[in-house]
């Protein structure tokens, strides 16, 4: 992942995050952040980096990789992370008002919505089809337009929309059969 100014690139190597200077290719900083898990997801937003792998998440300062938020060990394997703002779009305003959310997508086709600065899980929303997944991606800029696209081990692509409310189970995901025996859902720039 690239820093917001494009001057640095962050890479996950095992359980460590490394920061490189884009212009020179020089290593600026390396820090272990996920203990015993390999990093699979890195998201940068403003001055924060959120990394995930296995059942662990860490939120870090983009400059020195110091932890900025507590997260417990997760209940399932993490496949994707996504930072959302329901309200103000500016990072500083969102942080001050507690409007930023971290959505975590898991291997058994459910998501959790976290308040990242307090390390609190606010909601768990599941898909009725709780199949084991090969991959999952989260897309959208707010909870209102968040979509989950997941690829099951049963060779289906499911598209579903997490909705906050009294019923935390999405009943009817859209299903797309896949004819190839090998596929992967990846998140592209939105």
pLDDT tens for residues 31-87?
A: 999 988 999 999 887 788 899 999 999 999 888 999 888 889 999 999 999 888 755
Residue 169 — very low, low, confident or very high, per pLDDT cuts 50/70/90? low
pLDDT at 176 over 50: yes
Q: Which of 153, 158, 118 is nearest to 137 (CA)?
A: 158
pLDDT at 88 over 90: no
The CA–CA distances, whole Å, from 161 to 19, 64, 115, 158, 172 equal 34, 36, 20, 10, 10
Query: Full-prediction pTM beyond 0.85?
Result: no
């Amino acid at each position: 992942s690239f820093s917001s100014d494009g001057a640095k690139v962050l890479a996950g190597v095992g359980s460590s995050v490394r920061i490189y200077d884009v212009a020179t290719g020089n290593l600026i900083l390396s820090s272990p952040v996920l203990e015993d898990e390999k990093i699979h997801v890195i998201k940068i937003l403003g001055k924060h980096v959120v990394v995930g792998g296995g059942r662990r998440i860490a939120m870090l300062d983009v400059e020195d990789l110091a932890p900025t938020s507590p997260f417990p060990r997760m209940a399932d394997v993490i496949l994707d992370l996504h930072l959302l703002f329901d309200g103000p779009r500016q990072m500083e305003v969102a942080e001050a008002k507690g409007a930023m959310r971290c959505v975590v997508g898991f291997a058994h086709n459910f998501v959790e919505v976290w308040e990242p600065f307090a390390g609190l899980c606010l909601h768990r929303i599941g898909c009725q089809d709780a199949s084991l997944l090969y991959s999952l991606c989260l897309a959208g800029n707010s909870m209102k337009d968040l979509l989950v696209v997941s690829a099951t081990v049963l060779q289906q692509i499911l598209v579903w929309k997490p909705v906050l409310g009294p019923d935390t189970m999405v009943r009817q995901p859209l299903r797309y059969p896949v004819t190839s025996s090998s596929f992967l859902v990846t998140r592209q720039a939105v």
